[in-house]
């Protein structure tokens, strides 16, 4: 059961993910969370550094779809200026939105990675649905109401993973 919460990889931010290594592994698509994965949960638009990252990903031939539990206005206003497809109110960790994103990108699950900052939504959802998962450190130190609750549970899960010797990194 705990293994479902264990990410395939752990990095400090999306900027620490090697696009070339993804390509070398046959990755052709990225499903990424939005809030506290790409930008702070209360930042309305992408930073210049993030815009450059998206350009690099696209130039390398990797598709990106944003899959967020947030509402349409939030996700659309962030994604549309970047011309990035998105799915809102995804109900992660349920699998429907993940599978929908894969279909939209016209890829197979083994060609897609899931990137996110939360064990209970992004990592659990990605793992349960057969994706390679990458956990990133949250961009902001603050969270929305529901996420604050999730973070308390995550701390307990991380402590259990650590006790069992399953973590390969230091927090």
Give how far Cα 27 sits from Cα of 10, 75, 125, 157, Å. 17, 24, 18, 28
| CATH fold for domain 2-163 | Rossmann fold (3.40.50)
pLDDT tens-digit map of 55-113? 999 999 999 999 999 999 999 999 999 999 999 999 999 999 999 999 999 999 999 99
Phi-psi label, residue 160: left if phi above 0, alpha if psi -120 to 50, beta otherwise: alpha
Q: What percentage of the chain carries pLDDT values higher than 70?
A: 95
Tokens encoding 116: 């996110």
Query: Looking up tokens 């973590």, which residue turns up?
Result: 167
Q: Delimit the domains of the chain by residue range.
A: 2-163
Of the two residues 150 and 40, the one the predictor is more confident about is: 40
Instruction: Say if CB 5 and CB 159 are below 8 A apart.
Output: no
Instruction: Say if CB 137 and CB 116 are below 8 A apart.
Output: no
CA atoms 77, 82, 88, 90: torsion sign: negative
pTM equals 0.91
Count CB atoms within 10 A of the CB of residue 110: 13
* pLDDT of the residue at 158: 82
Rounded Cα distance between 7 and 3, Å, is 8
SS3 9: strand
Rounded Cα distance between 79 and 155, Å, is 30
């Amino acid at each position: 059961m705990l293994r479902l919460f264990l990410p395939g990889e752990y990095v400090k931010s999306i900027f620490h993910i090697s696009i070339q290594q993804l390509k070398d592994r046959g990755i052709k698509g990225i499903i990424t969370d939005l809030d506290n994965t790409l930008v702070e949960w209360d930042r309305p638009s992408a930073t210049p550094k993030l815009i450059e990252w998206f350009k690099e990903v696209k130039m390398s031939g990797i598709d990106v779809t944003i899959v967020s539990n947030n509402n349409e206005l939030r996700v659309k206003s962030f994604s549309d200026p970047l011309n990035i497809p998105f799915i809102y109110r995804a109900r992660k960790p349920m699998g429907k939105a993940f599978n929908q994103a894969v279909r939209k990108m016209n890829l197979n699950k083994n060609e897609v990675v899931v990137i996110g900052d939360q064990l209970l939504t992004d990592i659990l959802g990605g793992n349960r649905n057969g994706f390679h998962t990458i956990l990133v450190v949250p961009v902001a130190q603050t969270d929305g109401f529901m996420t604050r609750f999730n973070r308390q549970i995550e701390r307990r899960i991380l402590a259990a993973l650590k006790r069992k010797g399953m973590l390969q990194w230091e927090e």
